[in-house]
Every structure is written in structure tokens, then in C-alpha cells.
Amino acid sequence: MQFRPELEGLRGVAVALVVLFHARLLGFSGGFVGVDAFYVLSGFLITRLLLGEIAATGSLDLVTFYARRARRILPAAIAAVVVVLACSAFVVAPLDLPAITVDATASGLFAGNVLFAIRATDYFASTTPSPFLHYWSLGVEEQFYLVWPPFLLLAFRSRRPSLIICAACLGSLALAIVLTPVLAPWAFYGLPTRAWQLAAGALLAMHRPALSRLPSLALGVCAWIGLALLAVASTTLDPTAGYPGVAAIVPTLAVVLAICGSDRRGGPGRLLALAPLRALGRISFSLYLYHWPVLVLAAIAVGDLSVIERWCLVGLAVVVAAMSRRLIEQPFLEPRRLRATSRRSLVFGGSAIAMVLVAAQIVGLSAASSLAASGEPRFADATSPASGTSAADTPSTTAPATASPTVPATATPGPTPAGPRELRPRLTDARDDGDGLNARGCGLSLRGSQPPLCDLGVAGPATVALVGDSHAAQWFPALDLIAEQRGWRILPFTKDSCIFLDMRIISLHLEREYTECAAWRENVITILQRLRPDLVVVSSSRWVHPVEPVDADAARQADAMARLLRRLPGRVVVIADTPLSQVDVPACLSRRDHTAEMCATSRGYALTRHLARDGRAAQAVDAVLIDPSAWLCDEQTCPAVIDWTIVYRDDHHLTATMARRLAPMLEPGLLEALSRPK
């Protein structure tokens, strides 16, 4: 049971990997395996303590164990939640603060992993991550601490502890491998799929005496191999390849080997026991708690962070962690009053959690009050059309759509309806003002490859199919309005993140190749060849994550799109991707210190290379190209609000209200395409 300084250094290595990964520094693309290292270390150290108690008393004092865990974990963790909540109240937009308070509440209850799994939050690809996202791992660990002592005690009383624990470990690993391809969020965040890593450390603790009888030099070599494997995993593992699954075996085995022989002759014990690594190990818990919100809140406050800024923020996190260790962690590890009885420790823990719940509610109510007080967004120039306060006097029309990528359709949205000028949709409803196809069962999310067949509109003079990803689905409200007026039949075929081009792509959400997308595209083409609609409208996001790096070229992507367009029956319209906003528009508009102009995006940022792919593909197949950029941007900017209509529901999807406003501009291009001979 003696203290092993090299394990403290190993904790320092683990937290350094996580911090460098989150800060995107030094190329540690797989630095997230530092969390796996923490799990193995925790399983080893906790089980070693429990085994000592079982050997000495034949049982476990669960109340005392939970009291020790409360003193070790709760003070720093709860203090961090309160501090981050307070900082978020000043940094995060009022529109997003209610969600942050929910995250804080779940984190304070150590159930953040369950919340993020329910939301299907992508740990690696979230564009607006929560400052509490990293608390998912604490949730897993605390849930393990809750169930592991009684499970271990029952395993020993069954007289077959090794067999039972090994079976649980293998069962958890098998579940992780099975769920990773099909339920990635639950595989990543869930205790059942992560328990095997903690159990691996537990098995090592159980069999440590037997392993110690092996040759010391051999164990030392194994430890060096383990460190080498950890280094390889932290620099080569790709988050998009699917995790945890099979890939998690490498870092887990690496840490097991490192623990097993790091204190043996010829092992890396001296390296790991170096003072800087041990210093990081001592503050590793607080550093883990603070580094992520420091990075996230800074990015929210100032936007993209430079390398120098990220290094400075890492330094700030180290300083804050050292203060947390000195002022919060250590005093609660040595207080005589709390150590006097386990009951006091547990009462303190419950009180601390209650404090988080109260703090979260206060911040949530403050956010709601601030959002209500902000009212409608302010405009710097009440007469500027770019500010969104001016309406056209007559309905606007669009120039004929063209297949040339250099000649966009030009127009501005139609007139504002008579009556008081009110923001549409309401700011609190903007995020949910979407196309609604998935909710109606007429579109697919990430899962599945068989397109649902929804026959919308009426059986009239024309049948129009809508094909593509969510950037195609955003045009459905406009098409639906046109179809209602002209008696068209609408067939939507949309799938989230599924770019319509003949190319193998990666889903950042599924963390692997998006095979469902490839199958869906083939199924859609087969259905369309059978139904033969009069017009197929295609649109896709500009963001493509190809499996092969060579496919990142815009010309290759255009050729890949053209290959699919040629297989479509009838006439084809390509709607170029919409301009990109530099900000999350509803969040920006909710800030009391922001005008609508401050939430606009420069034309250069919004339209960079936006027609390089779509324009070339449309030209290649003689399709009609509709470029909506002139409807959404002037010569200098792309406003966040046009004629009192919020343009985007995030930073790249149109609100349904805005899409319907654009229907009069979209319609002539569709009619021009329908007038062409088949």
C-alpha cells in the first residue's frame, strides 16, 4: 500500500494529454486517451484500497468509503461548477444560458454523461460545446464508485472474484464494441461501456502480487512498451474512427502495462517521478476541472483562438488548478471535523450538491430575466436595409437562374407584411424554427439508409423532388409554399450530414465512415428513377469530410457531385449552399450589448469558395444553378436580420420563416428549369 510517486507522474501525463488535445496543441490528435488512463488508474488505486480493507476486516465499510470519496471529489468539483456558472453568466449569450444551467445541474449530480448521451452530444465535433461537457467523465467515475464496492464485496463472497470481475470486464468491452457503431453517444458516455477500463485497473490490483513475482526487468520493459503505446495512441488515434470500441483497447492496455512495471528495475519509474510530472499529477483533478471551461468560455468571448492565446489559456488553467488544489482540495482532505465522522462528510456532500442546484436556478432565472429584458434586437441605423428594418415597397423578383457559377440570381426578400414590426420568428423560438421533415418522419437523421417516401403537396401538374442533406431540407418550407400555390407534388429525400456527391465521407457525429449516407444515396437514386419526377432540386452543405485526403479538392468534389446528378431522371436544379454566418445568430441577437449589425457577417467570410463545387457540378450536367447569396447579402455584408426576419437558426441553417420569405425568389428558377425540355 506504499505511495508510488511514478503513478502520480502518470496522472500528470494523462492530464497533459487531455489538455493539449482540447487546446489543439502539439499535434496530440488522440490526447483524449488521457481520460482512459485516468479510468485505469482510478480502478487500480480504488480497488487496491478496497482489497486492503477486505483483507483486514473481511468486509467493507461503505459509509466510510463514500464519505472519503465525498471529501476527495465534491469540494473541488462543486466549487468548479459554481465558478464556471458565474463566469458563464457574463460570457454566454442569454439565449444559451438556460441550457448551461441544465448542464451545471446534471454535472453537480454527476449525471452529465447521461444527459449528453440523451442529447446525442458529439464530444469531438460539437460546434458550440458546453463548458460542462468534460464533466461526463466524472459522472462515469462517480457512478462506478457507487456500484463498485458492493459489487467487489459480493464477488469476494462468491469465492470466485477474479472470474466474476473478468466476466464483467469482458462483457463491458463487448458492449462497447457493439454499441460504438450503432449508438455512439451511449457507447462513449455510458458507464456500462466504460466500466471495463476501470475494471482492467481493478484486475491489475487483484493480481498485482502474482505479477510481482515475474522478472523485474521484464516488467520494466513492459512498462516502457506501455508508455510507447500510449504515445502512439495519443498522436495517431483519429476521433472520427469510432470510439471507444476496439480502438480503446490500445490506450487501456498501455496504461495497464505502465502501472504494472513502472516501479521495476529498468522501468520508466524515474522518468514518471520527475518533479514537473508529479506536480501536474498533484493538480490533475483541478486542472481537468478548469482547463475545458477556460478554453470554451474564451472561445465564446473572443472567437477563434490563436496558438499563442491557447498556450496562454493553458497556463491560466494551470494557475487556477494550483490555487484550487491549495485552497479547496487540500483543506478538505485533512479537516479534523469532517474526518471525525463519515456522517458529517456525507452531509457536507449533500449540502454542496444542493448549493449547485440553487446556484444553477439563480443563473437560469437571471438568464430568463435578461432575455426578456433584451426585447427585440436593437439596430444601429433604423433606416438601413442591411439592418433588417426596411421593407421593399413591392414584391421582388429574381433574375432567371443560370447554370453559370459566376452569374448569381439577384433579388432581395419580399415586402414585410403590414402591421407592427415584430421579429419573426421570436428570438426564443428561432432555434426550433426548422424544416420539420425529420419530426414528420419524412427525413432521416444520421441513422438508417432507407429513405421514407412522403408524398406531400397535391397531385398536380408537376412533381418536384428535394434531395440532399439538412441544407437541402432547409428549403422545404419555401418549396412547400410554392407547391401549395401551384398545386405541385413534393417528394422530400433528405438525410442529415449526407452530402449528395459520389464520394466516401466521414461523419464527425458517428466518428467513422458514413456508410449509411452512401447506401442512402443509392437508394434515393433508385427510387427517383422509378418515380421519375418532373424536377429534382439538389442542395448540400459546403462541408465535406472525405475518407481520402485527396478528395478534399473542390474540383474532385464537383466531379463527384456531377456523377450523381447525371443519374437523376428529368430536369435538375442545384441550389448553391447558403452563405455562412460567422456567429450563432440567435445567440448573438439575444445579447443586450449587441445590435443586429454586430451579428452580421462580412461577405468575404460568408461566400468564400461557395460556388467552386456547386457551380462546376451544375455546369457539367447543364443543370439550373440557383445562387441565394444575392438574396441574403449585399455588396459588403450578410445581415443577421432582413426585414425583421431572423435569417439563421444557428450559424448556417436558414430559419423556416426566412425560407418562406425567399419562396418568391426561388420560384422563377424552378419554373425556368421546368420549362426546359426533358
Q: What is the pLDDT of residues 383-401, one digit of tens each?
A: 343 444 333 333 333 333 3
- The residue-averaged pLDDT of 100-123 equals 88
Q: Which of 377-391, 413-427, 550-564 has the lowest mean pLDDT?
A: 377-391
Strand duo 641-642 + 535-539: pairing = unpaired
pLDDT at 546: 92
The pLDDT of residue 422 is above 50: yes
CA dihedral sign, ordered 577, 628, 581, 366: negative
pLDDT band at 367 (very low <50, low <70, confident <90, very high): low
pLDDT band at 361 (very low <50, low <70, confident <90, very high): confident
DSSP string, 32-59: THHHHHHHHHHHHHHHHHHHHHHHHHSS
The pLDDT of residue 229 is above 90: yes
- The residue-averaged pLDDT of 533-556 equals 91
- The percent of residues in the chain predicted with pLDDT above 70, rounded, is 87
pLDDT at 672: 92
pLDDT at 142: 93
pLDDT at 388: 41
Closest among 77, 85, 9 to 41, alpha carbons compared? 9
Return the half-sphere exposure (C-beta side, CA atoms, 13 A cut-off) of residue 76: 28
The pLDDT of residue 334 is above 80: no
Task: Print burial letters for 334-363: b (CB count within 10 Å at least 16), e (below 16).
Answer: eeeebeeebebbbebbeebbeebeebbeeb
pLDDT band at 519 (very low <50, low <70, confident <90, very high): very high
Closest among 431, 565, 562, 448 to 496, alpha carbons compared? 448
Return the half-sphere exposure (C-beta side, CA atoms, 13 A cut-off) of residue 596: 28
Read off the pLDDT of residues 196-216 as tens digits, 9 standing for 90 and up.
999 999 999 998 888 888 898
Axis crossing angle, helix 5-22 with helix 249-261, rounded to the nearest 10: 150
Q: How many CB atoms lie within 10 A of CB 77?
A: 24
The pLDDT of residue 673 is above 70: yes
Closest among 97, 169, 165 to 131, alpha carbons compared? 97
pLDDT at 369: 60
pLDDT at 406: 34
Read off the pLDDT of residues 574-632 as tens digits, 9 standing for 90 and up.
999 999 998 889 988 888 777 788 899 998 888 876 678 899 999 999 999 999 998 99
Architecture of domain 385-402+423-674: 3-Layer(aba) Sandwich (3.40)
- The percent of residues in the chain predicted with pLDDT above 90, rounded, is 54
Q: Where are the domains of the chain?
A: 5-368, 385-402+423-674
Residue 409 C-alpha cell reads as 440570381
Q: d(Cα 78, Cα 76) in Å, to the nearest integer?
A: 6
Give me the amino acid identity at 200: A
Q: Which of 11-15, 103-107, 156-160 has the lowest mean pLDDT?
A: 156-160
Q: What is the DSSP letter of 474?
A: T
pLDDT band at 365 (very low <50, low <70, confident <90, very high): low
- Structural element, H or E, at residue 456: strand 456-457
The pLDDT of residue 421 is above 80: no
pLDDT at 336: 58
Q: Which of 456-460, 513-517, 670-674 has the lowest mean pLDDT?
A: 456-460
- The residue-averaged pLDDT of 530-540 equals 95
Tracing cell 458529439 back to the chain, one arrives at 122
Q: SS3 for 508?
A: coil
pLDDT band at 127 (very low <50, low <70, confident <90, very high): low
- The residue with greater pLDDT, 363 or 492, is 492
The pLDDT of residue 312 is above 50: yes
pLDDT at 517: 94
